[in-house]
Structure 1
Amino acid sequence: MNEPLFLKLRKRLEVKPGALITLGDICQLFWDGDREKALARMPVYQVKPTDGNLIVVDIMQVIKQIRSVYPEAALEVQGASHIIVEVLNSRKKANTMLVVLVWILLFVGAGLAIMNFHTDVSMGQVHQRIFYLITGQENKQPLWLQIPYSIGIGLGMILFFNHIFQKRINEEPSPLEVELFLYQQNLDQYYIQHENKENERSKP
């Protein structure tokens, strides 16, 4: 019985420099027994130093490779038509002084942004007015309102970003993680389209 070969490209793969990428690395395969295992070990691409950090592998490259070994195989292709392979080059150790300077810059900048916002909306006067409405007394510094409000801002930021340092509060992704995910998707789509344009230009 001639069962079809089901294959589905993964979305992304991370490899080391000089790695040999096999079919099993970039595809999910379903076929009968030994042939599936043999296909999973089939080399598809050898990472070269000139490739840079990102490599786009097209489904047509995969089909061509499979056809060279099993020309009569019935193929059932599902999922994406490209996979992005990221080459993980060794990274330099972060400069501690630079990290501290960036952290201070971001901390001071965020603090100034919050203070400027509160100045624009006259938050101090709002607190004074609320204090007067509750107690009937005027107070230029209603600390029992301002201190809990300041603590609430910090707790709100923790809940918003869903992290306490590196500890996640719950399994729900934070808005920042969602934005980074969408940014990565857009970036991958750009690389794929850019690669296709380069391939079209290189055709005779």
Structure 2
Amino acid sequence: MANVVLYVMAKQNVETSQSDVVLADVASIYCEDETARAKAAALKIHKFKRGGASRVVISIMWVIEELTKLNPGITVECIGATDIIIEKASFQKDTQNSKRSFGEWIKVILVALICFCGSGFTIMAYHNDIGISDVFARIYELVTGQTSDGCTALEVSYSIGLAAGIIAFYNHVGGKRMSADPTPLEVEMRNYERDVNQAIVEISDRNGKEKDIN
């Protein structure tokens, strides 16, 4: 099969509910030869066994080797991830899913409370550390000539500005975005996911569990 180029753009991390995983489940495939593309898409790359490991790491080099065995003479161009992490997801019954959803809501509420209380304590500790109440009282007295009662235009405007700044920084008002840009938290989560995926690949390779060419 000369002069036929198969393009494979593999995903880095894929979750599947199927026991038999084919290449089309983990990658986008393009080839001008529709027969070659269909054969590549149907290539079985892994089978999850009952009671076995629920995660596997596959090197793109192994995929290339299998594709060239399937279509001798074909040229494979990989433009995606160099290692593919596949995880077997276990989907439970609807009743179990509803219980799981309730449990997840409890976790979300607990995390939200911890973040709220922790953030509030941090802000209060910072304000206490710099003595912001004394600063505001001094500024108010210098500007107006009157003694501050602790709740003046300075405190009110500062509180509103602090809340507005937090909303603008996190790019969210309730469940709505203020812009299409990702939030700082989303950026950090993507960085964290990338680091976790890299660690999974390296550990799998170090332990000799990655599916790779000999």
Which stretch of the first structure deviates more once superposed, 87-96 or 64-73?
87-96
Give me the whole-angstrom Cα distance separating, in 2, the residues matched to 1:11 and 1:125.
54
Q: Deviations over 1:21-61 (max 9, x none)?
A: 21122223222232212321222212334222x32121122
The aligned counterpart of 1:148 is: 157
Instruction: Return the letter of the residue paired with 2:30.
Output: F
Verify: 1:169 aligned to 2:170, yes or no: no
Verify: 1:107 aligned to 2:108, yes or no: no
Instruction: Return the letter of the residue paired with 1:174.
Output: T
* 1:71-110 to 2 correspondences below 5 Å: 71-90=72-91, 92-95=100-103, 99-110=108-119
Give me the whole-angstrom Cα distance separating, in 2, the residues matched to 1:111 and 1:76.
52
Fraction of identical pairs, as percent: 28
Give me the whole-angstrom Cα distance separating, in 1, the residues matched to 2:23 and 2:110.
45
Give me the whole-angstrom Cα distance separating, in 1, the residues matched to 2:49 and 2:174.
38
Query: In the superposition, relative to structure 1, how do residues 97 and 62 fare at CA in structure 2: closer, same or farther (>3 Å)?
Result: closer
The aligned counterpart of 1:11 is: 12
The aligned counterpart of 1:26 is: 26
Instruction: Return the letter of the residue paired with 2:173.
Output: I
- Residue-pair matches, total: 202
Query: In the superposition, relative to structure 1, how do residues 88 and 157 fare at CA in structure 2: closer, same or farther (>3 Å)?
Result: farther
Query: In the superposition, relative to structure 1, how do residues 200 and 99 fare at CA in structure 2: closer, same or farther (>3 Å)?
Result: closer
Instruction: Return the letter of the residue paired with 1:48.
Output: K
Indicate if the aligned counterparts of 1:128 and 1:142 stay in contact, CA closer than 8 A: no
The aligned counterpart of 1:51 is: 53
Deviation at 1:87, TM superposition (A): 2.8
Q: In structure 1, the residue corresponding to 2:164 is in which secondary structure?
A: helix
Using structure 1 for the length normalisation, give the TM-score: 0.85
Q: In structure 2, the residue corresponding to 1:51 is in which secondary structure?
A: coil
Gaps of 5+ in 1: none
Verify: 1:136 aligned to 2:145, yes or no: yes
Gaps of 5+ in 2: 92-96
Q: In structure 1, the residue corresponding to 2:86 is in which secondary structure?
A: strand
